[in-house]
């Protein structure tokens, strides 16, 4: 058996084991990696887990006991901070930069950056987008598919595009 055949057999075995044990099918990378070990390697807080397929850019600080779901983007090119005990659902995109002015000025203007801060105990629903420079307060809830383009106070629930208090 060559290396490719061995890898395929290992993949099939791991995939079958995850389906039987947890009722889920994961991407290749997520079968071969440990979410908690990746979080530790990235310098994130104790008890935090992050899927292999999450894109992490730049200066990203993540607290303790945070769950980062699959297919997320954590853009820390302008500094991103996520507090303790947060749930970042699948497909969430959190940005600290954008290239609007650079593109529309034909490259004359620089990339804009601003820190984004997610407080402690925050839930961000699937597919939500958090724009650069936004601060989300402690224990806030962001509804699925919301686009957050302004600050969200502590203990507030928002949803929609753009996100509004509900």
Strand spans (E) along 2-134: 49-50, 55-62, 67-68, 73-82, 87-88, 93-94, 97-98, 112-113, 116-118, 123-124, 129-130
Asked if residues 91 and 55 have their Cβ atoms less than 8 Å apart, the reply is no
Which residue has 């490259």 as its token pair? Answer: 107
Active-site residue, 97 included: yes
Q: Is the dihedral of CA 140, 152, 60, 29 positive or negative?
A: positive
Asked if residues 143 and 166 have their Cβ atoms less than 8 Å apart, the reply is yes
CA distance 121 to 51: 19
Which of 65, 85, 97, 98 is labelled catalytic?
97
Contacts of 75 (CB under 8 A, 6+ apart): 55, 57, 58, 60, 93, 94, 95, 96, 97, 132
Active site residues: 97
């Amino acid at each position: 058996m060559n290396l490719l055949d061995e890898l395929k057999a290992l993949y099939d075995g791991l995939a079958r084991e995850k389906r039987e044990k947890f009722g889920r099918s994961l991407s290749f990378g997520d079968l071969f990696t440990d979410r908690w070990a990746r979080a530790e390697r990235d310098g994130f807080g104790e008890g935090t887990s992050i899927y292999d397929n999450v894109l992490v850019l730049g200066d990203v600080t993540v607290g303790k006991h945070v769950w980062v779901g699959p297919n997320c983007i954590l853009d820390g090119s302008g500094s991103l901070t996520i507090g303790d005990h947060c749930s970042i659902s699948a497909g969430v995109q959190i940005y600290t930069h954008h290239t609007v002015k650079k593109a529309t000025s034909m490259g004359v203007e620089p990339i804009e950056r601003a820190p984004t801060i997610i407080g402690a105990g925050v839930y961000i629903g699937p597919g939500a987008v958090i724009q650069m420079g936004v601060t989300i307060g402690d224990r806030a809830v962001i509804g699925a598919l919301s686009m957050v383009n302004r600050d969200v106070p502590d203990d507030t629930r928002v949803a929609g595009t753009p996100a509004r208090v509900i």
